[in-house]
Amino acid sequence: MEKKLYTLEIKEKFKNLIPPLTSLEYEQLEENIIKNGCREPICIWNETIIDGHNRYEICHKNEIPFFIQEVPDIGTDEEAVVWICANQLGRRNLSEESRKMLIGERYNAELIVNAKKNNHGHNQYSVNKEIRKPASHATAEKIAKEYNISEASVRRYAQYSKVMNTMSETNPELFKQIKDGYLKFTREEISKMAFEQKTQNNNNSRHKRSNAGRHKKKFQIKEVPEYSPNVEFDSLAHTIPSWQRSIDRVLSNKDITNISYEVKTHLKTELEKIKFSIETMLCALEEKDERI
């Protein structure tokens, strides 16, 4: 494939699977692409982006050509979702909330993929050695082993991803606020809001079809506050103590002298990255204090 400014299709349901970049991360990515060009290809299936949405947007905004790469062995939207989730779950800088959603999305998509295969000559069971297991159980077991979690967690994340999908349809703005981390709710609260909003939308549709002329009181979900730059910084401030506790716990319970060279090198590299980021953030905060 030659390097040029391709015009590709964007599907919201694929794009919504990609964990969002912070404003700082987006700016750094844009600066790097403007300076060095787009080095990584945009991954596509059927002329639709399945990885590289931010790079695609930046390249078109700045008229920078890029390569594309067709991902093989994908034939349906559900298979594309499985690929996107597996690809994103392989990244290190993934938040725990995004990780849970992606695992749930992958499980739900794989169930559909397996069901379609069953309709083409396979039965509803997946044979694992000598034990015959329902496809849903086999799928949950496989994903649970792959990500070192319980099967119950896989199913719980699957329900959560369904709720968030409902939220994306019934209230896209609220969905984006939750997905981007500007609003925090428990899974139970999100589930309740999505159900009530979907119920209200269904009632409104029936009301319009009946043409009864009666006005129904519109259900209102909690008002979405205007975006404030304080949100991201305050969220970061609340996240840092968990890092500190993790480090303290490892230092107090583990013998560093016994870890392998590879693990030690990897850990040192990641700690150096954090150290640089912390120093950069402290400098930025000090500069702001001087201007005040």
Q: Of the candidates 153, 132, 222, which has an alpha carbon nearest to the alpha carbon of residue 182?
A: 222
pLDDT of residue 123: 47
Where are the domains positioned within the chain? 12-170, 240-291
How much of the chain exceeds pLDDT 90, in percent?
Answer: 39
What is the rounded distance in angstroms from the CA atom of residue 183 to the CA atom of residue 177?
A: 6
The mean per-residue pLDDT over the stretch 101-129 comes to: 75
3-state secondary structure (DSSP) of residue 71: coil
Higher pLDDT, 281 or 55: 55
129 pLDDT more than 50: no
**pLDDT higher at 150 or 205:** 150
Residue-level pLDDT at 31: 96
Q: Sorting pLDDT into bands at 50, 70 and 90, what band is 220?
A: very low
| Window from 68-77, 100-109, 115-124 with minimum mean pLDDT | 115-124
CA–CA distance from 19 to each of 46, 54, 101, 153, 281 (Å)?
Answer: 22, 11, 10, 20, 22
pLDDT at 292 over 50: no
Asked if the model's pLDDT at residue 125 lies above 60, the reply is: no
